[in-house]
Amino acid sequence: MKMKHVIMFLLVLLAVPSVSKAQDLQLNDREYFERQGVNVLVFSNSFNGGFNDEKNSGIEIIHHGVRTVQGGAVRLNNTPEQWDLVPRMTDRKVDRENGSIEVAMRYDDYDFDSRVIVTAKGKAVEISVYLDKPVPEKLAGEAGLNIEFLPSQYWLKTFTMDGRLGRLPRYATSHTVTRPNSEKPRQFKGFKTYDDRGTNRFIDPLPIETGHSLSMATDDPSRLVTIKSDAELKLFDGRMLAQNGWFVVRSILPKGKTGKVITWTVEPNAVPGWIREPNIGFSQIGYTPEQPKVAVIELDKLDTPQTTAKLMRINPDGSTTQAFEGAITSWGPYFKYNYVKFDFSSVKTPGVYFIQYGKTKTNDFLIDAHVYDKITDATTDVWVPIHMNHMYVTEGYRTWHGEPFKEGYLQAPESDHFDLHRQGASTDTKYKPLELIPGLNIGGFFDAGDFDIETGSNINVVQNFIRTWELFRPQRDETFVSQKQRYVDLHRPDGVPDILQFIEHGTLNLVAQAEQIGHMASTLSNSVLDNYHHLGDAASITDGLHYDPSLKPYEVSADGKRSGTPDDMWAFTTRNPNLDLQAAGIFTSAARVLRGYNDELADRAQTQADRLRKEAEQLLSSRNSRFPRDAQAEADDDWLTGTGDGTTQISRRSRFHRDNRRPRSLWENLDRDVARNLQTALDSIPMKDDAYKQKLRPFVQKYNDYIKSFDTQNPYGVPIGLGNWAGVNAVLNFGITVNYAHIYFPDIVSKDEVYRVANWLYGCHPYHNYSFVAVVGATRPKQVFYGNNRADFSAIPGNVAPGLLFRKPDHFENYDDWPFLWGQNEGTIAGNTQYIIFGSALKNIVNPNLTK
Ligand SMILES: [Ca+2]
Ligand SMILES: [Ca+2]
Ligand SMILES: [Ca+2]
């Protein structure tokens, strides 16, 4: 045996006893219960994200490879919403001897503690709730043991409750009651997710069924889960309150009792001998003839790898022939799966192909010199114009949205905010709290799946468009934009390059902020939570009428211009000179770009740039300044204004030395961390002489080693993030730097490296092989994204998903039938415009004549 084979053989030997010997659930080394086809996780992920209930936490079941059950915990609502209170995990104990995991959780708002113990019992787990003190009076009848089932994996399937038959509905149509607001457990920070229209009552869903023995998905062995309890089980449909709700099973905790108060026996069915289908990762865009072509195949750890795979060609007459057969090579284990590779780089004949690995065939894809030609078109022609705020946006017969926020923006009062913003005690403006700040309802881009203008993101957007314009001058004109009519029409050329119009649109809002407020707002955002989670036409988020507190809620003034409904958006205006400095940089470069196209706006931008820069410098340098200096803001300002020089420029993420607050030089930063700082150095090359470029060479060499280091870190050769928001921004950053390193130093960073990130984005990644970009040219893009049309299980073309969300301890996930997890499916305006730079650079490398 060759060494590699010996290792493979040993791995198989090691893997077998721990999983397949016993068909009972076992507590494994990664601290979850496992049998073939079933993983039961107990607070491997706890409720501690930035947005309360992210449907990612508590007791979870990964059932035949799909995380279909989560949210198992003591909860205070029949069907918890995102902003309902979540318990804080105060302790977690793993008891290997008894095969159990104990979790202590606490609701600080109600001084309420409980413990949940999950114990393996044969093929089932027993879930028990223990109380040392009875349920607090206020929560009696409200606190219960809940667990949630993923609607898209359970709808249309059959269930039984105590033998009675039912079918889980595709759409929410069960029953609700209303109850007095005084009975509702408080929501996150006291916000309200609902507008009760003056009734003073909230909606409470009624159960679809109740009983003591529930089987979910009796018609699908891979989803069948049975729950039995002496306590009453209630089955609810969480979508009655919120489109992102799940099916909920719940037992109310008894009043006045302590000790073991509820026990459930939960048995997820396992399909005998189940082995996950191989996930063949490849680029759904396809490949150019000369580029490397390596499929990464993700295998169940119990699967035996094939020795070869085939590349099949689909001929123009519809017949299929074998184009290539090649060896499968082992990469090895990465988290829970095993990885092998199939290299078919030698196939260079243009055509339509698919991969055949054992019995698994992929969908078809192209090998052709032009596969990258259109990769940014959906993003620039469709996604970006649809996200233009304060405009009516139309496409053919369809109106994407009317003109939003016609009543403008009010000065935010001192407040905490549900989207992680804050308005300090001082407004730092001449406006009184809730006074109208004129002129802000112009220009700007919706943030992401929500509709606010995050100033920092909008600065990034304009910066990304300016970089794209100055580097590639794309003349593409597919969008009609009339600022006078406040009207955007897709696929209607108007004689002006669209990128220029996007720069203008972003600048219009940012300059208005500087002029009207005097400095940059942190955000222009919703004032009430009940219109923040809006899904639908952006123009209907607010009533378009000025808020007048002298009127009663829902009352409209006689002249039809004012209403008593407090729905107007707010401007958060606490001053941040670092943000002002960033804006000043943008204004200088926007003025440069807009000169000759919109001179009036160019002048206004330059005026604000000069004023903001001067005032920001004063604020930052004054001895008793309450503002810490932000090196990134200065670096961006340097780059954008073209004033950076290689000796004083500061890297994007570096910080000042603590001791003397002296900025580190670029070279010091490159010495410390070339991966983080090379992009800044590359951006300056056009302004520098040859000596600068020569001095950079050894750092580019080091960066090339860094690129190659990913080949041993994971099977996919790109940086893979493990955070609570999947890592597409880091991957795009990496891709942009690789592209630029290749453009300026092709003898060091070879052209082969620029395809790494493209492969990852377009389908060569864990979990599934769909393209993360809803892009032109891909055979199988993702179908659902967390865009503002997510309630329709749809996508806005050109969106870029964050991608693979990591769930501890070993699970990567990207749902493509459930759009509502923002950490894996929400494209953002900053990320999508970053993608335009990445894509423009890649197109330009592959086909230099393309973008002009
Ligand atoms: Ca936002
Ligand atoms: Ca245009
Ligand atoms: Ca209003």
Question: Could you say which ligand is closest to the alpha carbon of residue 566?
Answer: 3
Ligand 3 centroid – CA 461 distance (Å): 28
Which pLDDT score, from 0 to 100, does residue 848 have? Answer: 84
> pTM for the complete prediction?
0.93
Beta bridge partners of 325: 310
112 by DSSP, 3-state: which? strand
pLDDT tens readout for residues 309-328: 999 999 999 999 999 999 99
Ligand 2 centroid – CA 388 distance (Å): 13
CA dihedral 514, 518, 524, 529 (to 10 degrees): 180
Give the 3-state DSSP-derived string for 665-687, with helices as H, strands as E and coil as C.
CHHHHHHHCHHHHHHHHHHCHHH
Which pLDDT score, from 0 to 100, does residue 418 have? Answer: 83
Question: Could you say which ligand is closest to the alpha carbon of residue 384?
Answer: 2
Which regions in the chain score pLDDT beneath 50?
1-21, 638-660, 851-852
Ligand 1 centroid – CA 151 distance (Å): 26
CA distances from 774 to 169, 815, 827 (A): 29, 14, 10
User: Does residue 419 contact residue 570 with C-beta atoms inside 8 Å?
Assistant: no
CA–CA dist 205, 228 (Å, integer):
22
Which pLDDT score, from 0 to 100, does residue 51 have? Answer: 81
CA–CA dist 358, 278 (Å, integer):
9
CA angle, 161 then 226 then 265, to 5°: 110
CA–CA dist 852, 835 (Å, integer):
18
Ligand 1 centroid – CA 725 distance (Å): 14
Alpha helices (runs of H) in 134-209, residue ranges in sequence order: 151-154
Rounded (10°) angle between helices 455-472 and 577-594? 30
C-alpha Rg value of the chain to the nearest Å: 28
Beta bridge partners of 445: 388
Which pLDDT score, from 0 to 100, does residue 624 have? Answer: 60
CA–CA dist 271, 734 (Å, integer):
41
Beta bridge partners of 812: 806
Q: Which tokens is 807 given?
A: 């769930």
Which pLDDT score, from 0 to 100, does residue 421 have? Answer: 84
Nearest of 709, 712, 760 to residue 733 by alpha carbon: 760
Instruction: Provide the phi-psi class of 318: left if phi over 0, else alpha when psi is between -120 and 50, else beta.
Output: left
Burial of residue 222, with CB atoms counted within 10 A of its CB: 0-12 exposed, 13-18 middle, 19 or more buried: middle
CA–CA dist 640, 590 (Å, integer):
9
Ligand 1 centroid – CA 637 distance (Å): 24
- Sequence-distant (≥ 6) Cβ neighbours of residue 28 within 8 angstroms: 18, 34
Alpha helices (runs of H) in 84-184, residue ranges in sequence order: 151-154
Ligand 3 centroid – CA 541 distance (Å): 9
Ligand 3 centroid – CA 415 distance (Å): 19
Q: Which tokens is 605 given?
A: 């931008």
465 by DSSP, 3-state: which? helix
Ligand 2 centroid – CA 605 distance (Å): 21
Ligand 2 centroid – CA 713 distance (Å): 44
Which pLDDT score, from 0 to 100, does residue 650 have? Answer: 31
